Amino acid sequence: MRSANDARFAGDLRTAIMRELPVTITYFKDGVNPETDTPVVRTIEPYDVIKSQSGNHLIKAMDRLRIKPRSFRTDRVVSYTVHRGGRRIVPVPVPAAPLPASRPVRALPDPQDDLISSWGDWLELTYDPDMPRYDTLSERDGEGS
């Protein structure tokens, strides 16, 4: 186990990320205070190191115990061991693809409404009681036979 305060910690962590090697860390969940806190030992599979909005460096890793992504603050890591022979066993989550920019969608008429209105027009023309009935097309056009 190496001390996380060592200058090699960042380089070893970068190597573990590039080679996809697991790392066992000893860290304090609620801050580094050996008198009040109990250290936790976890084997993680790091895949990124980022800086949080509050300025802390976070190790983004897959936690082998929980089988899900977790973040660990580097200032709370007390010691670490990089496993030289191991490989990643927990798959890294794939980031969601950004949604394409949406274009305004033109509202299409409902085909059901069109069918009902055209059916109603046909019914009105065919069975309208106010409209005189014609026997032939020529009578309708006013040409009498």
Domains of the chain as residue ranges with CATH: 2-82 (2.30.30)
The model carries a pTM of 0.57
pLDDT of residue 44 exceeding 80, the answer is yes
HEC sequence for 42-96: EEEEEEEEEECCCCCEEEEEEECCCCEEEEEEHHHEEEEEECCCCCCCCCCCCCC
Q: Look up residue 77 and give its two tokens.
A: 């890591």
pLDDT in tens, 48-79: 988 888 888 899 999 888 888 899 988 888 89
Q: What does the pLDDT read at residue 111?
A: 57
Average pLDDT, the chain: 75
Please name the residues in contact with 138: beta carbons below 8 A apart, sequence gap of 6 or more. 144, 145
Q: What does the pLDDT read at residue 34?
A: 63
pLDDT of residue 134 exceeding 60, the answer is no
